[in-house]
Structure 1
Amino acid sequence: MLKITLSPLVLTILSTLVSCLIPHTTFATKPYNPHKTIHCNILIVGSGLSGVATAYEGLLAGKRVCLTEITDWLGGQISSQGTSALDERPTQRSKLFYSRGYLELRQRIQNYYNQLNPGKCWVSDSCFLPNDGHHIINQMLQDVAKKGKGKLYWFPNTVIKELDISNGKLINSVIAIQHKSAKGRPPLNTFPLSQIIKDAYKYENSPRFEKKIIRFIPSQHKQNKNPNWYIVDASETGEIVALADVPYRLGIDPRSHLEPSSSSINNDPYCTQGFTYTFAMSATKEAQKHKMPSFYMRYSPYFSYELKRLANFPLVFTYRRIWNPIQGKPMKFGGVNFTTPMPGDISMQTWAWGNDYRPG
């Protein structure tokens, strides 16, 4: 086992955590020869909205951008995570107070559907299909790369495995593993992430996956001998933070002059965002029969109609309705205007005191 101990270093914050300097890391696995080496000005780990936003600006500035993603879709919340409802505030909308990349995303959704809200939801001004979110973002990044004369290298189904550090200061390279289904095996996304994630981080091919090892290195300048790049951790798993042993905090920060609107006077590391396994429901013309799962009643005490209006099914179904091909009749409930659910409608479900998991 080769161990490398490093001195404390400085971290740069760029949109999300930008880590160029590392205090400590350990290599516990034997090295493998990479199948390919890619030069980057910016390496972004995670292709959610923050990763996409970083890539957008990098490409517009003419940079070589390497973008990795553990799934096979761009967009995170509005694609692979299923919550394809733009989370905005009324003041933002009234003033169009958004970044230029986000404004372009909104406009592209409008152009793609000939409307901003094809789901006719009422949680947001824009609800749409997750797979369309991926395709819209993909095209947007391709176009902005041409506009800014940048270069995008996107690596779906890819995880970060190791950091290569020398002189105790800078990251010289990053090793990643990209996987695809092995010959004769079911396609990707057949199994949930919990069943494949350990396999995805192993170098060796497996009965399920064929793998390719990728080495990311910075684009060097002749006048600068040190690595000249940014590494941005925009992942859901904090891969760079963990590998670099970067200090971090969990939960709620205390109220202070830096965080005057914090909901808590004191910090609370155990108060984290509830985990939700989102799912989509389709309205059908005929009533469906469902078999109650054996574990259903165990969780029933946790369920709650937190507000009386949540007992109104049409209201709940249309809250995050992401697809509405046939216009229903206008309805109003408690000051909320919406249209009746119709066969073919698709609604995304993610509710506090519903399918949120909060125990920790």
Structure 2
Amino acid sequence: MSAHLADRHEQSTAEIVVIGGGLGGVAAALAALRRGHTVILTEETDWLGGQLTSQGVPPDEHPWIERFGATRSYRAVRDGIRDHYRRTTPLTPAAAADQYLNPGLGRVSKLCHEPTVAAAVLDGMIAPYVSSGRLTVLRTTRPVSAESVAGVVRTVTVEDPEGGRHRLSGRFVLDATELGDLLPLAGIPYVTGAEGRTETGEPSAPLDARPDNVQAFSWVFALAYDEHGDHTIERPADYDYWRSYEPPFWHGPMLGFVAPDPRTLEPLTRTFVPNARVDAGVIADQSRDPGDRELWAFRRVLARANFEPGYLESDITIVNWPMIDYLDGSIIDVDEETRDRHLAGARALSLAMLYWLQTEAPRPDGGRGWPGLHLRGDVLGTSDGFAKAPYIRESRRIRALYTITEQDLSFEIRGDLGAVRYPDSVGIGMYRIDLHPSSGGDNYIDVASSPFQIPLGALIPAGGGNLLAAGKNLGTTHITNGCYRLHPVEWNVGEAAGALASFCLENGTTPSEVHADPGRVSAFQSELVDDGFELAWPDSAEVRAF
């Protein structure tokens, strides 16, 4: 690294600084930009979109997403993805005419698609603001320090891969990083891992707090299948380690098709058939069918059945399965050497899974392995076939003015009352409390939940100041993170944070003051509704717990 690059230290100022360009960060920036403010947005990778793009995960959504249960701008993302396929690919007449086109006919979502398409759509949404000069985007940068006084963040310094540093300042600073990385840098009180039942009263929490007990993260990859080819990779050096890796609750080695059923914890054998025949009607409704019983179709992002013959030689599917959940340790609040070791371990596990699929996986015909399986990095924007970043399920979480607990939304606890109705609602969401196995040795925790709201108080640190949570780092617990971490909810959280910062700028107030004043809360909510937010679920028998 040259000295002049390492010493470069630029300064930039905007009204609002958003650290982290995942779904929450992009939504926050767009909310502020629509209101006429200037924004600096940073992102650790070269793609915006986080779990939807750089992490390679098709959207996990509730079953009513096509009609209600998301903000207007989130719907614009989904519409943009479908429009891309209609404009640029040879869809069959039936697929082109389908209002609810699902390019991959995957079972995890009603909109399974290539991550590269979502990245392009998000870039298109921010492009007018970049051209106008009101939005500055700093890609491939990560926060390395912050200056703050009594919860007020004065500056945030981000670093690029060449060692160049950029000092950023704004009236409001939003943390939309995947792991809540700004919180320790700025001295904002936060929580990691599992809170104890003695603190939260949650039935599914451990008796005592376990700060290092964090949901597994995964390094996903994309696969296609060449029936007549042999694309077998070199045997990974640590393959024997992963081939024999067997958590005590797994019912066998992780490299296999047997894994716990998340809801019963009993052993469940999944099937896997590359380019399996596509059923006529894919439901893609996890309230009725978890979707992961057939792994090829589960997260398939391109299905040949949707396109004219000859366009695709193979379907393309995303491998984000239980078998690649990394359980050997957390990457939160550890030294850099430990973090790098666990990140490398997650990639190694995924590579071992690929090799096992190519060489040892049992086939329906009695044979072993599919050597024609091969990586498709182009759909993930990489040369190696792996996502640009690991899929992060759990972040540091602010100690908030309001913390959402299991008692707020568990169907077993709330029953026909439904989830708690918050007077300061800034949005809605729905998903089961779905916690993957953890670094502390926990099996799945899977709890039926009721359609819920997002309380404003969960976005604001208890100590006040000018920092807002704009992603998975809002005031949930380890348990309720399991249903507040999904795509439309993260987008809504970030969008509400960007709107709140804007409201405070325009009214000369602070987030804590807004939260404490019912009149201001009501005025803010009116603005949200005008901007396409849904603050309460429809009063309908269709909207139910699952």
TM-score by length of 2: 0.45
For 2:255, the equivalent position in structure 1 comes to 303
Residue 293 in structure 1 maps to residue 236 in structure 2: yes
Residue 344 in structure 1 maps to residue 314 in structure 2: yes
Counterpart amino acid of residue 349 in structure 1: V
Q: Superposed, which structure 2 residues align to 1:78-227 within 5 Å? A: 78-83=52-57, 85-90=58-63, 92-93=64-65, 95-114=67-86, 116-143=101-128, 151-165=134-148, 170-179=152-161, 209=162, 211-218=163-170
Q: CA deviation at 1:217?
A: 2.3
Q: 1:258 to 1:99 in 2, by over 3 A?
A: farther
Q: Counterparts of 1:61 and 1:289 in 2: how far apart (Å)?
A: 51
Q: 1:169 to 1:117 in 2, by over 3 A?
A: closer
> Is the contact between residue 163 and residue 243 of structure 1 (CA under 8 Å) also seen in structure 2?
yes
Q: CA deviation at 1:95?
A: 4.1
Deviations 1:260-319 (A, max 9, x none): 7x7336454344221111111112131425254343232232335126551242431121
Deviations 1:179-209 (A, max 9, x none): 3xxxxxxxxxxxxxxxxxxxxxxxxxxxxx3
Alpha-carbon RMSD? 3.0
TM-score by length of 1: 0.66
Q: CA deviation at 1:39?
A: 1.8
Match of 1:302, SS state, is: coil
Residue 38 in structure 1 maps to residue 23 in structure 2: no
Q: 1:271 to 1:242 in 2, by over 3 A?
A: same
Q: Counterparts of 1:258 and 1:60 in 2: how far apart (Å)?
A: 38
For 1:67, the equivalent position in structure 2 comes to 41
Determine what percentage of the aligned residue pairs are the same residue: 28
Match of 1:317, SS state, is: helix
Structure with the higher fraction of residues in strand conformation: 1
For 1:356, the equivalent position in structure 2 comes to 325
Structure with the higher fraction of residues in helix conformation: 2
Q: Counterparts of 1:289 and 1:71 in 2: how far apart (Å)?
A: 28
> Is the contact between residue 118 and residue 128 of structure 1 (CA under 8 Å) also seen in structure 2?
yes
Counterpart amino acid of residue 327 in structure 2: R
Q: How many residues align?
A: 269
> Is the contact between residue 46 and residue 234 of structure 1 (CA under 8 Å) also seen in structure 2?
yes
Deviations 1:93-137 (A, max 9, x none): 264210222111111112111364212211111111112111101
For 1:316, the equivalent position in structure 2 comes to 295
For 1:282, the equivalent position in structure 2 comes to 224
Q: Counterparts of 1:351 and 1:51 in 2: how far apart (Å)?
A: 26
Q: CA deviation at 1:168?
A: 5.7
Q: CA deviation at 1:235?
A: 0.7
